[in-house]
Amino acid sequence: MNRFVMAVTAAVLATGVAHAEVTEEMLLNDTASTGDVLTNGMGRHLQRYSPLETLNKDNVKNLVPAWAFSLGGEKQRGQETQPLVHDGVMYITGSYSRMYAIDIKTGKEIWQYDARLPEGILPCCDVVNRGAAIFGDNIYFGTLDARMVALNAKTGDVVWNKKIADYKAGYSYTAAPLIVRGLVITGNSGGEFGIVGEVQARDAETGDLVWTRPVIEGHMGTLNGEESTMTGELNATWPGDMWKTGGGATWLGGSYDADTDTLVFGAGNPAPWNSHLRNAGTPVEGNKGDNLYAASRIGIDPATGEIKWHYQTTPREGWDYDGVNEVVAYTDRSDNKRWATADRNGFFYVLNREDGKFVSAVPFVKDITWAEGIDDTGRPIFIEEGRPGDPTAAADGKKGEVVFASPSFLGGKNWMPMAHSPKTGLFYVPSNEWGMDIWNEPITYKKGAAYLGSGFTIKPNYEDHIGSLKAIDPDTGEIKWEFKNDAPLWGGVMTTAGGLVFTGTPEGNFIAFDDETGEELWSFQTGSGIVGQPITWEQDGEQYVTVISGWGGAVPLWGGEVAKKVNYLNQGGLLWTFRLPAQLAAK
């Protein structure tokens, strides 16, 4: 059976769980509420910070496994989920669009749901799923055939199942949804297939569309079933009809800031990668080759889907530097409300939270080749010889000049989420030091076919490491400490008031660092590569930490020479939960 639910009422009752409804107020206060984890990012600001300090630098050495849960079967591949915890139940998603409900006291499965995936799905970068959202009595998650499913959180039964987009055209969905005031808000995936990035809001109870907002200029948004406004201005920054297949996938989902009542979504690479076809390969009059709003962060009104502001991190994009990396709301040391985002292009940006305007940018990886820096207006200072060449200028017209570009298209930072500690004021950023040989090729759009117009080979920049976890001061841009890892880092980061920073490595090590010095204080070998996202919560006076282990994601599929470097790593699918026993908390 492709879809099955194991959900016997007696099994649920055996947990002794009341299953109280999740409210908007509970989502708003998720960070402060330490007995559960109700949102992706441990707060809709995505800080991934816990105020818990029972577990700390002195006693983290006493952290021990409490239970482990296997996802089972042959459907392994990359496991990138962030668990949610509510009323004694943990909810996780798995590869191939699966959902599990687990008793947090015992690790016993309560129910499982498997989506009925059709033949011919086109996920670009593994069959991953990054998590769910919970609201009311339901739990929500997306599927690889670009659908959004609402399940009853108690039983796993389907409440509604809605189509986001046409998977046959290359659309898919991998992000955790976002809930704001009774709306389920989603992006879309498929940027390598000439799709159009979009944000959608649905009624959480019915699944009915409330609004849609395409993020590429020239496309019309909708509100309550009627056309609302056009995104941008038709052909303002795009040549001809290229806006119709302009990319900009919103594949990582978004964040929400209650102070300014703003959703922020990132838009991915413009399509195709060959920037010369989009008039972006050489400077043109005005901003014709910027290709808005691809490679941008976009502030959106959650009630209507109207765009409030945008900031484009990589105008004239030509290296697949997606602009989707998470945008984290925080307050700096001078009490200024800020956004922070670490881009694929290698720069760490700070924006004003009120209007999205540029504040500062610094490199967070070394050897950036495409730009000298960011000017006072927030625009890159391009190194023109760092752009892959125009195929039409080549003797054979088939392959443009090959250049070495750094970072690689997998980014200074890819999807893997960073964390922010209000206690230290630092951001803890998982990054990778790698580059690529890249060249452009002729390409024409065909529905459902890859739409790149480029070729590439990824290479490590250094012999001693690729992965690099960096502690960055957003006020100064200073890197306070760095942890170097042989293989690329591809998992999420979490920090706590106990002075700890948690993340995992592809080699399978789950590690706790000192948040001020970067000293390794504790580690545990999980048996497979960690590309998931850790969480922590308290239960019965004890602090728990959970992370999923299961190697996969984009690196083994797209990593070139880097993929060969890590091809010995084993796949898996095991959810580990650790606890600090009360009797060891003071030691």
Q: Which residues are annotated as a binding site for pyrroloquinoline quinone?
A: 80, 130, 174, 414-415
Give 105: exposed, middle or buried? Use CB within 10 Å, 0-12, 13-18, 19+.
middle
Catalytic residue among 320, 322, 343, 515: 320
Q: Is the peptide bond before 123 cis (omega within 30 degrees of 0)?
A: no
Beta pairing partners, 113: 99
State which amino acid sits at residue 251. Answer: W
DSSP characters over 520-545: EEEEEE-SS---S--EEEEETTEEEE
Buried b (16+ CB within 10 A) or exposed e, 88-103: bbbbbbbbbbbbbbbb
How far is Cα 301 from Cα 305, in angstroms, rounded to an integer? 5
Buried b (16+ CB within 10 A) or exposed e, 18-57: ebeebeeebbbebbebbebbbbbbbbbbbbbbbebebbbb
How far is Cα 392 from Cα 403, in angstroms, rounded to an integer? 16
Residue 340 in 3-state DSSP? strand
Annotated binding site for Ca(2+): 192, 269, 320
Cβ–Cβ < 8 Å for 186, 28: no
Known active-site residue 320: yes
Angle at 366 between CA 362 and CA 368, to 5 degrees: 80
For residue 493, give the nearest of 514, 472, 469, 509 by alpha carbon: 469
Strand order of the β-sheet with 147-152 is 133-135, 138-143, 147-152, 158-163
Residue 192 vs residues 89, 245, 248, 345: alpha-carbon distances, Å: 37, 10, 9, 18
Cβ–Cβ < 8 Å for 500, 513: yes
Residue 452 vs residues 80, 86, 179, 277: alpha-carbon distances, Å: 25, 42, 33, 11
- Write out the two tokens for 328: 């984290």
Cβ–Cβ < 8 Å for 138, 159: yes
What residues contact residue 364 under an 8 Å CB cut-off, 6+ apart?
342, 346, 347, 348, 412, 413, 429, 431, 470, 472, 479
For residue 113, give the nearest of 88, 135, 132, 136 by alpha carbon: 132
How far is Cα 406 from Cα 460, in angstroms, rounded to an integer? 10
Annotated binding site: 80, 130, 174, 192, 269, 320, 414-415
Catalytic residues: 320
